[in-house]
Structure 1
Amino acid sequence: MGELKTDMREVFEQTIIMAPSPETWGFFVFRTTYENQVLWENYVSYLRCQASRFLTVQEHGFELLSNMDFTVVDDVTRLDGASKDEVRGLFNQMFEDLPEEGDSARGIPPYPYRFVGRYTHCFYYKS
């Protein structure tokens, strides 16, 4: 648990303290299966609930929670049946084309501040 506290302190410092303005953090969630809408909705709800439960007992947790977002990438034509490698490729491509100076209107920080998990890791959902 000590390691998680350290990790959350780093997330807080990177997204709230060091950034030019408080940044959105969290993860992109790629949906790659479309058979069961209820199961999908339960999965996303579970992710958000578990993150909230964890953060509310952490130092600076409420500040982090107010800037946390799980951005769902839901494109049946591109993602239905996609493999982990295909999702990884799409995820990486999403950030290769971003302007280095960022885009505050879209909530994208300048390049030096894109080192939190939101820009390095994603969730891959396949039922």
Structure 2
Amino acid sequence: MASFPHGNRLRYPPGYKPATTGYHKTINTRAVVGYPKWGFVIYRGTYNDDKLWPKCVALLKGSVNHWLRDRNQEDVLQLDLVWTIVEDRETLDGAPKEAVRTRFRKWAAGRSVERDGPGADGPWVGKRCPRFRFCVYVDQASLDSLTAWWIPHEKYWSLRGQVAMINGIHGHHDEDTLSHAAIRTARPKDEYEGEDEGEDDESEDEEEVYSPIEGNTSRDVGWRYKDADLLVTWYEELHKQGMEWETWHHFYEGERPYCPKVDAGTLGEPLAMVDLSRKE
């Protein structure tokens, strides 16, 4: 595959017909930037139980494979899916999200053909591929939230619980910080018509302070917990949409990540009880 930049725009290779099916953003981005590999880098942040971790990884992989089959995209995307699992007890055990972000940014900056495969050095790869912009972090809270539900008719373990999705460009891009004015511009006019302009001017100079999360008192802390079973969906959603800040803004949904959300009505088996060899 090859990319065809035209000024500040990208062009599909001649004769390429853009996909409109499931995961079309992932499929089309691979074609337009000229780099086929995809998939999140996953960092292990808890080392208290070496028996649970392999199950966690296996269930994450199983859920991705399930959704690719469900959307009939297994033949299209499976071959180029890359699982990069980073384990480092000394530096990652209990590491704060900011430390993981810093490590991920260094990894992304080291993108090369030698390490990442043909096409990885393309000028648009780092700007358009979620693989080099966002990562997954499984901390202790994430691991504690994970359970699995056996789906008999599909014969697979459906993962429950959440993992941390980290915005690798948070605080490192001119458009990354949401200003009050930017949010107003994105809102329908009738939502802010009649607001006191003087108050708006003052609020732009005063950033609201929230209760600290790992020392961060901003509204957007640059990461959030998301359902572990839907990594393919999150990869699809994190392709750049409009301005740089819009992609993360829509994904973040304004919810500060105090802890993983667990739906008591969908709880499955604890990971320790999950039998990965089960067939029936």
Q: Normalising by structure 2, report the TM-score.
A: 0.39
Q: Give the CA deviation at 1:122.
A: 0.9
- What are the equivalent positions in structure 2 for 1:65-84 lying under 5 Å apart? 65-84=78-97
Q: Give the CA deviation at 1:95.
A: 1.8
Kept in 2, the 8 Å contact 1:23–1:107? The answer is no
Give the gaps of 5 or more residues in structure 1: none
Q: Give 1:56's aligned residue.
A: 69
The 1:7/1:41 distance shift into structure 2, 3 A limit, reads same
In angstroms, what is the RMSD of aligned CA positions?
A: 2.0
Q: Give 2:53's aligned residue.
A: 40
Q: Give 2:135's aligned residue.
A: 122
Q: Give 1:113's aligned residue.
A: 125
The 1:35/1:68 distance shift into structure 2, 3 A limit, reads same
User: How big is each residue's C-alpha offset from its partner over 1:22-51, in whole Å with a ceiling of 9 and x where there is no partner?
Assistant: 521101110111111121111111111000
Q: Structure 1: how far apart are the matches of 2:98 and 2:84? A: 19
Q: Which amino acid aligns with 1:11?
A: T
Q: Give the CA deviation at 1:84.
A: 1.1
Structure with the greater relative contact order (CA < 8 A, sep ≥ 6): 1 or 2? 1
Q: Give the CA deviation at 1:118.
A: 0.9
Q: Structure 1: how far apart are the matches of 2:95 and 2:77? A: 31
Q: Normalising by structure 1, report the TM-score.
A: 0.80
1:18 alignment partner, one of 32, 48, 57: 32
Q: Structure 1: how far apart are the matches of 2:36 and 2:49? A: 33
Q: Which structure: greater helix fraction?
A: 1
Matched residue pairs, number? 117
Give the gaps of 5 or more residues in structure 2: 1-19, 141-280
